[in-house]
């Protein structure tokens, strides 16, 4: 029987680590996917997700109710924005520029389809990385994570109109970027 989030949150507030771990199992993939799209690097996304989950555990007593998913995604977004600010202050050589051995495609997918899918994903990630961080976050939460505009407004702590504007501008910039680079 699946326990309701609110029951798990109340138990977590009392220090029950098992209840919090259940919440983590429910939402860690969503938090990681947000971090991956925001940061464009799996290692950085893992770090940001871990930081966010640790911060959520430390601050669970301060959760005042409402949508736990939106609360956790806001913490994750903040962890990503912290990493992006840190990158600006201390730039480094990205791992993507280093030579690597490509992984083999899954057996159910042809090598051509696999390559096309990987190239398309990389182009979209590059286009997302070109967006200002607030637009990127709004587009990712809407188009990739599937959150409603109201949920995005709670995550981003802004008005519904601001969410709509950021998504609209972000999508327009993505479209322009992809058209200018000839990728689509």
> pLDDT per residue over 57-73, tens digit each?
999 999 988 889 999 99
d(CA 22, CA 50): 15
What is the reported pLDDT for 88?
75
What is the reported pLDDT for 103?
55
What is the reported pLDDT for 95?
43
What is the reported pLDDT for 15?
92
Neighbours of 163 (CB within 10 A): 24
Neighbours of 164 (CB within 10 A): 15
d(CA 165, CA 138): 9
Residue among 42, 48, 75, 37 at smallest CA distance from 59: 75
* Residue numbers in the chain where pLDDT is lower than 70: 1, 90-107, 183-184
Domain ranges, ordered by start, for the chain: 1-91, 112-184
CATH class of 1-91: mainly alpha
**Angle 17-39/5-13 helices, nearest 10 degrees?**
110
d(CA 71, CA 77): 10
What is the reported pLDDT for 125?
85
Decide whether 1-91 matches 112-184 in CATH topology.
no
CATH code of 112-184, in short, is 1.10.10.10
What is the reported pLDDT for 89?
72
What is the reported pLDDT for 76?
95
Q: Which residue has the tokens 């259940």?
A: 22
Helices (H), the chain: 5-13, 17-39, 42-59, 68-89, 111-129, 133-139, 149-156, 160-180
């Amino acid at each position: 029987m699946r326990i309701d989030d609110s029951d798990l949150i109340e138990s977590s507030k009392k220090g029950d680590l098992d209840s919090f771990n259940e919440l983590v199992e429910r939402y860690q993939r969503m938090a990681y996917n947000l971090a991956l799209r925001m940061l464009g690097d799996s290692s950085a996304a893992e770090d940001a997700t871990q930081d966010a989950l640790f911060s959520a555990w430390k601050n669970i007593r301060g959760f005042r109710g409402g949508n736990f998913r939106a609360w956790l995604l806001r913490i994750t977004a903040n962890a990503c924005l912290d990493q992006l600010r840190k990158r600006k202050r201390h730039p480094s050589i990205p791992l993507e520029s280093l030579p690597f051995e490509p992984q083999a495609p899954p057996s159910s997918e042809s090598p051509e389809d696999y390559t096309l899918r990987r190239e398309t994903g990389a182009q979209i990630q590059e286009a997302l990385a070109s967006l200002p961080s607030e637009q990127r976050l709004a587009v990712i939460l809407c188009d990739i994570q599937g959150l409603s505009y109201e949920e995005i407004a709670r995550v981003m702590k802004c008005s519904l109109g601001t969410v709509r504007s950021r998504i609209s501008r972000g999508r327009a910039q993505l479209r322009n970027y992809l058209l200018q680079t000839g990728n689509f």
